[in-house]
Amino acid sequence: MTMIACILNRIFPILLGDLLVSDEVRRDIFMLPSISENIMDYLTEPSRFHPYRLNQKVYILKDNVCVALAGTVSYLKQFLKDLRYFCSSRKTITAEDINVFLKRYNLGSAGEHLSFLIMTVEKEGQDFKVGQFKRGNWRELDSNIYGKVLANGSGAVDFLEGVNRSGTLITGYSENSIEYAVQSNIILISSLLAEERARLHTVKKHWGAGFEMVYFDGRKFTKFDDITYIVNHAKFDENGNIEVPIPAIILHYRYDGDILLITAVAALRGETEVKDTEIIIRYKEFVTNLFIVEPINYGRSIDIEKYKQDTSFTSYRNGMGYIIETEGGKFLPAIFNVGSELKVEYQHLSSVIITMNREINDKLVSAAKEAFPHL
């Protein structure tokens, strides 16, 4: 029960993986980063599977090799262990090496319980050659923004519908740049997180709870690190106007080695100060939760208290998803900003300040009013 995806944009490929692992065992309490409260109270319909824990599903095996995995956890662990050993035992890995590995590897009955996409990138003169090896039921679509998109797992259909809903992307980057590819996918993740908070549709279909992104930066595969996602709430009035959206949840992602740490800060009460050139939002009361997301076969003890001692961060890389409500539905735009125009400062358990260039908010308000008659 999962969702993994490959976005074959115009320049370099990107892999996405959700974090949710489901099980037939039903927990009494399960916290979701985007909600930061027990979601089991909302999942009342009968179901065979239930949210059970958070795990990583995309892995970098070599500078030029990465894999996304879906399926039954025990089979994933063994396959990942064997594939990781194969890659680490060789100085270099080519697409042909992966082809040889897969031909020799005896999946046996595991093949029914395992889906994957392995990707390699090799330099050929001034260009790069991308190798792709996949197994399982992969769904595909072509997008003007994202290029060819492949998705697998229980969330594949909903994910592709989310990609299809993506409208115009306003950007200052060239469509053939890595910056464009990263920006468009961070915006997609921001939108998915906002929709998850608004509808819980992901978890009800056994996927979601957060997303990792692996991209090729021209030299090597890397996981996108040190980023903050903000989910904002607002309501249209009868004329399609909105006030400054309220940041309901802040999600800061960072890696410590192989461990993904998500600091979730949920607002209980705050204040907004609107100036001529900037907007300052201060949390007066909030709740902080720390989510520790391991690789699926990590197998080592984690000093949780060490990470809880100081969860402070200052972020200049921020994706913002919006839930703007109408009588008939919701408008879910998203943006991604890098730079001092949008800053999030969180001091461990004591303060949260969001400082935003007013132009960012004004553009959002204008786009929302434009969309209002069509909602």
Q: Answer yes or no: do 259 and 356 share one domain.
A: yes
Q: Answer yes or no: do 215 and 271 share one domain.
A: no
Q: Answer yes or no: do 11 and 150 share one domain.
A: yes
Final residue belonging to a domain, choices 202, 222, 242: 222
Query: Which residue intervals of the chain are DSSP H helices?
Result: 73-88, 95-104, 156-165, 178-199, 201-204, 304-308, 358-371
Q: Answer yes or no: do 189 and 231 share one domain.
A: no
72 CB neighbour count, 10 Å cutoff: 12
Final residue belonging to a domain, choices 188, 222, 256: 222
User: Once rounded to an integer, what is the mean pLDDT over residues 360-368?
Assistant: 86
- Total domains in the fold of the chain: 2
What's the CA gap between 52 and 25, in Å, rounded? 7
Q: Answer yes or no: do 43 and 103 share one domain.
A: yes
Instruction: Give me the pLDDT at residue 181, please.
Output: 86
- State the residue range of the domain holding 244: 225-374
Q: Answer yes or no: do 233 and 162 share one domain.
A: no
User: Once rounded to an integer, what is the mean pLDDT over residues 74-81?
Assistant: 93
Q: Which residues 6+ apart lie within 8 Å of 80 measured at CB?
A: 59, 67, 69, 296, 297
Final residue belonging to a domain, choices 222, 250, 272: 222
What's the CA gap between 91 and 227, in Å, rounded? 32
Range of 119-123, 253-257, 299-303 with top mean pLDDT: 253-257
Instruction: Give me the pLDDT at residue 109, please.
Output: 67
Q: Answer yes or no: do 323 and 188 share one domain.
A: no
Buried b (16+ CB within 10 A) or exposed e, 233-245: bbebeeebebebb
Q: What is the CATH number of the domain that holds 181?
A: 3.60.20.10
Q: Answer yes or no: do 215 and 230 share one domain.
A: no
pTM: 0.94
Q: Answer yes or no: do 157 and 249 share one domain.
A: no
pLDDT tens for 152-189 read 999 999 999 989 876 555 566 767 778 888 888 999 99
User: Once rounded to an integer, what is the mean pLDDT over residues 207-231?
Assistant: 95
Greater confidence, 231 or 42?
Answer: 231
Q: Answer yes or no: do 134 and 246 share one domain.
A: no
What angle separates helix 95-104 from helix 73-88, to the nearest 10 degrees?
130
Q: Answer yes or no: do 259 and 172 share one domain.
A: no
CB 32 within 8 A of CB 261: no
Provide the terminal-to-terminal Cα distance of the chain, rounded to the nearest Å.
Answer: 32
What's the CA gap between 151 and 131, in Å, rounded? 17
pLDDT tens for 322-351 read 999 877 777 888 889 999 999 999 999 999
